[in-house]
Chain A
Amino acid sequence: MLSLVLILLASLFFTGIIIRAKSLVSGRKGPGIFQPMKDVIRLWKKGSVFSRTTSFIFQIAPSVYFASVLMAILVVPFGKAPGLISFQGDFVFFAYVLALGKFFSIISALDTGSSFEGMGASREALFSMLVEPAFFIMMGSFAMLTGQSSFHDIFISLHFGSQISYALGVLATFLLIMIAMIENSRMPVDDPKTHLELTMVHEVMILDNSGFDLGLILYATNLKFAMYGALIANFFVGALPLAWAVLVFFAVQVVFAMLAGLLESFSARFRMNHNAEFIYTLTSLSLLIFFGVLLLMGKFI
């Protein structure tokens, strides 16, 4: 329950910090950190325009997408407190619930019958398919290391002791950041601020969404970022006392958001056809974690 509240709080300013960091780096003052949230609320009060081509899929898809993200957040634990939903193998549920949302966002893009949105849908489907093994193998490695198989138990019994385990922590953090960037369609895979539809992934899929639905989709992105931030924070929170844990949580969120902003300021988007290969390297990173865990446990030779 605690994690839900904290993630909701973090989601209010997360994207704002990214935008602020980007504008500061490029020498502008930039909007306040709550501006994206204000935009979302403004959208929630607006009417909508629907395409003639669309069907009921287009109507329900944003709600399903949003609900799936909320459901995934319920699984995320915080420190000593498990998430609302916690059972053995809950991270499988986490990944599959997110996939459900993705399924609906893809078919809602196809529902418009537009060539651009189909293009975005095709890319999103391919990229998210390629990124999944990395997450599963990483979680599998930590399950192996701790002998546990739920988010809460894994995080609570994860102790950093030796150099290898620190290396593993760093690798896992990097991996989670990359997964978050890909899942949220940010640099270096997708550029949310590009001006050409042909070069977009996620933004082009929601070209036809408007009003409340668009607000839901945008807010779901904020939530997703905060959710991955919470996962990263969990690596470091461990069994800290509550006050410290909350502090660490927000510190991690802010640092993560600033990192994302810096990353977006100083890197260019990959060429679309190289994205797939890049995403696959994440799987090999997760295999590195797997081997590291084997080394730690002395199972390796």
Chain B
Amino acid sequence: MGLFYAYLGILGAALLLLPFLRVEAKGGIAIGASCALAMIGGYFAVLALSGHETGLILAGTQVTGPIPIRIDALSGWFILLINFTILTGGFYGLQYMKAYRDQKANLSLHCMAFLLVQSMLSLLCAVQNSLVFLFAWEIMALSAFLLVIFEHLKSDTIRAGINYLIQSHVSIVALMAGFIWVAYRMGSYDFQAIRDFSASFSHLNSLALFLVFFAGFGLKAGFVPFHTWLPYAHPAAPSHVSGLMSGVLIKIGIYGILRMILLVETDYLVLGFLLLFMGVISGLYGVMLAILQHNLKKLLAYHSIENIGIIGIGIGLGTIGLGLDNAALSTLGFAGAMLHVLNHSLFKSLLFFSAGNVYQATQSLNIEHFGGLIKKMPHTAGLFLVASLAICGLPPFNGFVSEFLIYSGLYLGLGNDSPVMLFGFVASLFGLVLIGGLAIFCFTKAFGAVFLGSPRREFAHVSEVGLGKLIPMYAVVVAMMSIGLFPGFYLELLSAPLAAFEAKMPGVQQAAGIPANIAGLMTDIGLCAAGLIALVGAVFFVRQRAGRRQPVMVGPTWGCGYVGDASRMQYTASSFVRTYRKLFEPLFSIHKKKKPVEGIFPEGGGHETHPYDKTELWLIDKPLKILKDFIGKFQFLQNGNPQFYIFYGVVFIALVILVPMLAEGLSFLLDFLNQL
């Protein structure tokens, strides 16, 4: 209890203090407060993960009723990973924001919003009262909006911010609808009421309730077709905020979905296949669009959708496991999903930080402008490479572990008997493999075009970033490697949250901890990862030894006989993906501008492609246009004339008074007529 109030106290004190500090001190104090908050949150989280759940009930107010704070293992896992990424993001942001020291007021707002996002994300994992949950959700959404629009003088940024603001409120509406439905039926705001609700109503009702919640949480997580805000908001925000949003903010949606699976009792088989389907679609759609992007951060944002899809596949498998009373399947699915949540928060934030380094050095995010940055920024390039390998799920990095768990789940599912389910599993397998392949395609493009080759444009002052930025990034790499090499330890951490899911299967005998065969698998994978690193090292060592006495020459790249400057002829990112684009063209809407090279002395040709999101076209733009056309018909009301506005007010007041009077008169008249 005391620690909880200390948490709120530190938050409040920091918020009050921040505006009055010198600009140099703001960041430091904010980070200090952030560390303290993370430590308290982490303490509870570690307690919960080791089996000691925290449960306390605050008195609350007359409106909210008692406010239960329950930190169970699931909350613990999410609180831990949220705070880790926020801390690294904070330390990185401290350096990143030095470039904006002149915007004093803006910086205080930024620091305050940062702390609010951190505390609200942690609180959301702990609070189990729907009203307070919605309040925290709203504060989080608003402060994330403030974080996004830091560079609010750019019109693109403010547009992206408002887009985000509106869409996150749509998600709140969906959540509100769900919670009101439960509160109306059960008369309680406690999350336990959701469990009671699904116990006392049919499975179909519970499924509908889950879908309402899924719309809300899925919008935050970025499942297709609820993803359209993501590719705008992430590039617009400063890089540490993008990393934070993509790493942990969207994961609160995943937390919500997992929490609802724990609470809602329904037909898990149907639900599981639905989630599996959503996952595959999101994964494929996200990565397919990511490949086409020219903006580095937008590319990464589409990859978040892909990874949410992979997490969705994991959750779907786990839920199917619940439906089939198959403990192994549910363990593999949920473990894969939750581990991937952590993995993605690590490598995606690292990717965004690297993109931030590139942005601050060049003031550009267009992939086609770069090239050869690896020579000027070797650390950034190396970090980006490590994160790319990890996000493609390649061993020996952490992404492989979670994807391997999900693959194992899919292969386990193939042991099933019903042909319909088998088709579902094979289709998902196909989807997941394709996602992996496309991710490799995408990241070879991104890494190759940005860091390799020769420069495509001259940038004035490109140099490696300072230690202040590199240290938090290397901290993330250490965390990533530890997962890749010691996956067993992390799976053991997950055993408490997994037990909560297993408790949903009353018919299945509960085993303590992770099943031995899966734990053994994790040891094998860790050993394989270590072996792979050792093998690469050994081969490289032999190569160095063998090459020591041989002559080494340096020359130009082989140009097939051409000896002039070939740097303008090198393959661009667009040409790298051209065959792919041609292959899948019918699925996208791409605006192309082409200026062919003509004549004996050509004036310079050009080729531009602007990929656009087809779902956005159909789900956002078209309905919006129809709505605008309809509302536009009433535009005459808004004529800018103050007298008219006063007149509207008078009409309104008159109606407010007259309508009840008329109604009363009418009922009086009816009574009178009845008596006749």
Contact = CB atoms under 8 A, between A and B. Distances in A.
A262 interface: no
Most A CB atoms within 10 A — which of B394, B436, B437, B560?
A: B437
A132 to B, nearest CB: 5
Interface string B536-554: 1011100100110011111
B604 interface: no
A283 B559 CA distance: 37
A96 B521 contact: no
B446 to A, nearest CB: 10
B94 interface: no
Nearest to A198: B560
- The secondary structure that dominates the B interface is helix
B459 interface: no
B447 interface: yes
A300 B440 contact: no
A125 B444 contact: yes
- The secondary structure that dominates the A interface is helix
A122 to B, nearest CB: 5
Interface stretch (B27-35, B147-155, B427-435): B427-435
B466 interface: no
A40 interface: no
Interface residues on A, range: 35 or more
B444 A118 contact: no
B105 to A, nearest CB: 43
B430 A126 contact: no
Interface stretch (B404-412, B499-507, B629-637): B404-412
B553 A50 contact: yes
Contacts, number: 259
A85 B524 contact: yes
B546 A89 contact: no
Given A63-B540, A71-B531, A290 B426 contact: yes
Contacts of B521: 87-89
Interface stretch (B81-89, B221-229, B575-583, B613-621): B575-583
Contact of B454 (A44, A49, A53, A132): A53
Contacts of B404: 89, 92-93, 96
Contacts of B395: 93, 96-97, 100
A283 B434 CA distance: 11
A213 B554 CA distance: 15
Given A51-B555, A103-B392, A116-B560, A216 B539 contact: yes
Interface residues on B, range: 35 or more
A49 B554 contact: yes
Interface in B443-500: 443-445, 447-449, 452-454
Interface in A107-124: 107, 110-119, 121-123
B579 A123 contact: yes
Interface string A41-53: 0001111111111
A128 B394 contact: no
A47 B553 contact: yes
A57 interface: yes
A48 B555 CA distance: 11
A276 interface: yes
Contacts of B577: 122
A186 interface: no
B648 to A, nearest CB: 61
A122 B578 contact: yes
B414 A48 contact: no
A129 B535 CA distance: 25
Contact of A114 (B394, B411, B449, B566): B566
Contacts of A114: 557-559, 566, 570-571
B247 interface: no
Contact of A216 (B426, B543, B576): B543
Most B CB atoms within 10 A — which of A125, A213, A290?
A: A125
A113 B558 contact: no
Contacts of B571: 110, 114-115, 117-119, 121-122
Nearest to A115: B569
B356 interface: no
Interface string A188-227: 0000000001000000000110011100100000000000
A170 interface: no
A67 B539 contact: yes
Contacts of B528: 71, 85, 93
B411 A140 contact: yes
B378 interface: yes
A180 interface: no
Contacts of A107: 385, 444, 447-448, 452
A272 B579 CA distance: 10
B371 interface: yes
A117 B555 CA distance: 16
Given A52-B557, A92-B407, A96-B436, 13 more contacts: A48-B550, A55-B374, A63-B543, A66-B539, A87-B524, A89-B521, A96-B403, A96-B404, A100-B394, A110-B448, A121-B571, A129-B441, A197-B560
12 contacts: A50-B555, A62-B543, A67-B535, A70-B535, A89-B404, A89-B411, A96-B395, A107-B385, A122-B575, A129-B437, A213-B543, A276-B583
